[in-house]
Amino acid sequence: MLVNGIIVVLLALYLVWSGMAAGNYTLRVLSIAGIYALLAIGYQFIFGHAGALALSQGTFMGVGAYASGILAVNYGVPFDLALPISVGLPVLLALIVAAPVLRLETHYFALATLIISQVVLLIAIEWISFTGGANGIGGVPPIRIFSVTIPPGWPLLATVWGFVALGALLAWQIARGRLGQAWACVRTAPSAAAAIGLDASRLRLTAFLLSAAYAGFAGSLYVHALRVISPDVLSFPIIVSCLTIVVVGSRLRPVGALLGALLIILLPEWFRDLRDYYLLAYGCILLLVVVIAPAGLLGTLELLAGRLLPASPPPAPSPRPLEPSAVRGVAVKTPEAAAAPVLDVSRLCCSFGGVRAVDDVSLRVMAGEALGLIGPNGSGKTTLVNLVSGFYVPDSGRIALCGEDITGRSSYRIARAGVARTFQTVALVEDMTALDNVSIARDVNRIGLGAALRVGLRDPVQTRAREEAAFLLEQMGAADAMMRPAGSLPYGVRRRVEIARALAVQPTLMLLDEPAAGLNETEQSDLAQRLRALLKQGTALLVIEHNMSFLAPLVDRMACLDAGRLIAEGTPQHVKSDARVLEAYLGTASELVPA
């Protein structure tokens, strides 16, 4: 926060100093830089927070510009009255294209948004009677707010940067709390986000619509500042400039967008004296910034400030036990419901191409019971867990949770129904503290744009979630690490944090994928003791594990898979002595070969 504040003050002083010593042309350039800053702040939502490379930001800006310009020239609608339309139309366009486009990933998403941008550009060029075609529309009036016309020069500069300041504050408010943490989880650990009940599609849609709204606002300012509208506002260089601003400044911090916009827009002006070589110098400087500061200028400055002036971590919150009435399990069930299986898998099948990964598997897990799942590599253990948790959809069969059919439901809905899981490879948000990695899993249904906008300086929901997360970390023996970044923790502690995050879902059923992997004997013994305590609370466990010395004393029953089929089920001693299990997995000894 200190670095951000210093940069804001320096940028404000620079704008005042430059404006006082400059003519109308420089003031106009500084105003354009402010418009690009607003555009980039919006782009940070989808590109930075949601982590999706969208190439449609320039299109949204162009749609907003055309809406405001055409309304002003053809219908006499001033800037302020046209603003809801110039912002609303890009948002509507984003909403229309979101259904097919947001389902795509990585470069497919980028290409899809680029195609949409080209279609809108062609419409603007060919619809001559409405848009003016390639020649555009001139005579756009200046900005008018509450019947006051804003003339060029200092008034325009102050107006534009005033809107930029409001936009930056709004963006900071939206992303500073639990919504920003949810975006970080979806961006860096999408599987983990789904496993704690975060709806990634809704979060990405929110970011996409916010980016469109900011772009429409920037487009409206742009057309009234330039006083002319043409297809240039929809052209590819607009999105290239926006992308460059965000990469150079910061992907996440609004202040970084301000810094990047001034640098990218003013650099060409500073190198005009180089004549034919200014573009070369411009490109070399940008390349140097990207190579030296991959986190952006602001991120690099924050990193340097943290090393030179290391700040002590904030105090850990006081642990708060979770409300018993909210905990799923035997304690909150009727006797009839408690007698039903927590998990009932019936004749489940799943194939990948010609490979039958899960073949006619049926098994049950009761409340307070631990079922161990063993088998050779490739036997279908993780596939079965992925089917139960909704990451895969079965070809046939039925999955029931406490008697309710959850077959084919999306993973985040299954998580909200009471199924939590960990992963074979620990999936945490490394830049977030262990505490926040756990707290984000609390009350995920209360994370959204409306909640972010209503929060004051102190968020009581986040405060409570962190106190409950502190209790869960203490319960898992990771309290000493709660205020440290997850990426800096030893592997064994990361495992405990991940299990604490799963507990934050308040599950009826926990699916643990090799929880003892990478732990020494002392850590394994401690983890087993803590997991047995969960069984006493009524939580059911399904545990995939290769380490028999850890698994056998922990579980009540075992099931063995081989080539996707269930070949044995029963007590640990019964399964370990089964001839089919010995042949397929254990060999002649009663110990598993480490994977």
What is the residue type of 106? T
Please tell us whether the domain made up of 2-308 is placed in CATH 1.10.3470. Answer: yes
For residue range 233-261, what is the model confidence (pLDDT) as tens digits? 998 889 989 999 999 999 999 999 999 99
Pairing of strands 144-145, 148-149: antiparallel
Spell out the residues 6+ positions from residue 100 whose beta carbon is closer than 8 angstroms to its own.
112
- Residue whose tokens read 């990948």: 352
pLDDT for the residue numbered 18: 77
Please give the mean pLDDT across all residues of the chain.
Answer: 89
Contact 12, 262 (CB under 8 A): no
> What is the model's pLDDT at position 313?
79
- CATH architecture assignment, domain 338-418+507-595: 3-Layer(aba) Sandwich (3.40)
**Could you tell me if residue 106 is left (phi over 0), alpha (psi between -120 and 50 degrees) or otherwise beta?**
left
The reported pLDDT for the residue numbered 538 is 87
Please answer whether residues 414 and 507 qualify as being in contact, where contact means their C-beta atoms are separated by less than 8 angstroms. Answer: no
CATH 1.10.3470 residue ranges for the chain: 2-308
In 3D, which of 558, 563, 565, 544 has the Cα closest to residue 590?
558
What is this structure's pTM?
0.90
* Residue 337 contacts residue 508 (beta carbons within 8 Å): no
**Single-letter amino acid, residue 401:** L
pLDDT in tens, 262-289: 988 888 777 777 666 766 776 777 788 7
Note the pLDDT of residue 332.
40
Q: From 409, 394, 334, select the one nearest 361 (Cα to Cα).
A: 394
Q: Which residue stretches of 133-153 are H helix?
A: none
pLDDT confidence of residue 336: 54
Q: Residue 141 is encoded by which pair of tokens?
A: 């009036």
Q: What averages of pLDDT result for each successive group of 10 residues across the chain (595 residues)? A: 85 83 82 96 96 93 96 94 96 91 83 92 93 91 94 92 96 95 94 94 95 97 94 90 92 94 86 69 76 86 85 86 57 54 94 91 94 92 94 95 92 94 92 95 92 89 94 93 92 93 94 89 91 90 92 93 92 91 71 42
- 31 vs 473: CA distance, rounded Å: 50
**What type of residue sits at position 198?**
L
Residue-wise pLDDT for 182-192, tens only, equals 999 999 999 99
Under DSSP, is residue 447 helix (H, G, I), strand (E, B) or coil? coil
Residue 21 has a pLDDT of: 66
Give 514's contacts (C-beta < 8 A, 6+ positions apart): 424, 544, 545, 546
In the chain, CATH 3.40.50.300 sits at 338-418+507-595
What is the side-by-side strand order in the sheet with 396-401? 355-365, 343-352, 396-401, 404-405
**Which of 541, 538, 576, 494 shows the shortest CA–CA distance to 528?**
541
The residue to which tokens 């940069």 are assigned: 7
pLDDT of res. 323: 79
Contact 546, 594 (CB under 8 A): yes
Strand partners, 560: 374, 568
Listed residue (75, 72, 116) closest to 223, CA to CA: 72
